[in-house]
Amino acid sequence: MSTINDHEAPGAIAASIAADVIRSGTARRLGRDVVLELLGSWSAKGGLRQAAARPLRWAAARLLAPSQDGGEGIGPKVGMLLTTWARRLNAEHASDPACHARGRSRSVEAFLKGTDFGEIREMLERSRECTVRTIDAFNEALWKYPAKVGSILGSLVSILNTLVRVLSALTKPIERRVGPDLLADLILSLLKNVDAKAASELANDVCEIIRRLHTGNLLLARAGRPLFQVYLTELLEVAFERLDPELVTKAATALAQDKEAFACAVADALTARPELALSRVAAYGSMKTPWVRALSRKARFYDELDKNDLADALARGLAELDTYEIAQAINTLARVVNDLHETRPDMFANVARSIADSLDTHEIGKSVRWIMSELTEAFGGVIGDVPGVPGAVPSRAAGGGA
């Protein structure tokens, strides 16, 4: 029986684990098979080697026979090793929090000095063709046997199904054994313990990097175009030259049709379980009310701000708005529509006429009549209180109601 305990040195525990691994049944079987294979190759020439190999095979089979006692394995000792290692690190960090950082700093510096990253980059660049050729050779050999490809794909499906089952098994105990208050306390305590100061410093650093990148992009502009735009234009020009417009259009159409198929499949499946859809409809108010309350709270926030500060901020924001470009966009859009109409005068009319011919005027008229009637009745008092609105219904609150 081992006398190792969790107060021993990590090295002693690690050595004991290694010894247990070597003594394990799997390692013994592997060692036995290796020895027997070597003896078989060594004695294949016959003669004295063949005669000497027989007792050696017997000895290997006896000495390396796997033990029948499985025991607890190395699990307990791995736990002891982690505990001992953590205890030692805690003691060292308690006395000197940066005790390991100094040594690692020297090691990292030595590593960087001794590493030629230019050679590594050149190695990676020159390996590109070889890597592609290796993949080509693999594909050429693999697709000679389509059944193997099917087996590989079937294995991926099996892995996915196993992963789903594993995740389900992991979540089941939470559902059965953990109450809502305990679960919320466990999960939300993680949020409570997040280092907000460090997170804000990280956000500041990221924002500063983005600002500097943008500033450098503008400083390196070419012919009034930011450098990012220049490089991206060159990249897209090369890429678009090799794109097949017809193939891209077919792929986009296929995706749109697949989206339709997905929607139809959901509708067909819900036909057998309408209660799923009805439960969502019944909970519509409960789902949308939090969004309304959030919008109301945001509106109250702006209402609580100092009106002068809000007005100054809004004035600065609107001053940066390029109204000329907005007008140009509207003008260009109108010109495009007009040019299309002049080129094909009947195009828009035909589309509108085909839609109008398919509308059910009876149902639409019925909807418009009851909607307008009920809206007028519901908002009549509000409209009546608005001065200067022609045809407003008098407010009931003002004594003008029917």
Report yes or no: 84 and 16 within 8 Å, Cβ to Cβ: no
pLDDT digits (tens, 9 = 90+) for 12-27: 888 887 877 777 777 8
- Nearest of 379, 370, 372, 374 to residue 393 by alpha carbon: 379
* pLDDT tier, 70 (very low <50, low <70, confident <90, very high otherwise): low
Give the whole-angstrom CA distance, residue 153 versus residue 147. Answer: 10
Question: Cα–chain-centroid distance for residue 227?
Answer: 30
Query: For the residues 145-169, what does the mean pLDDT come to?
Result: 92
Beta-bridge partner residues of 222: 225
Amino acid residing at 350? N
pLDDT digits (tens, 9 = 90+) for 362-395: 999 999 999 999 998 888 877 777 766 665 555 4
Residue 84 buriedness (CB in 10 A; 0-12 / 13-18 / 19+): buried
pLDDT-above-70 percentage for the chain = 92
Report yes or no: 84 and 13 within 8 Å, Cβ to Cβ: yes
* pLDDT tier, 82 (very low <50, low <70, confident <90, very high otherwise): confident
* pLDDT tier, 402 (very low <50, low <70, confident <90, very high otherwise): very low
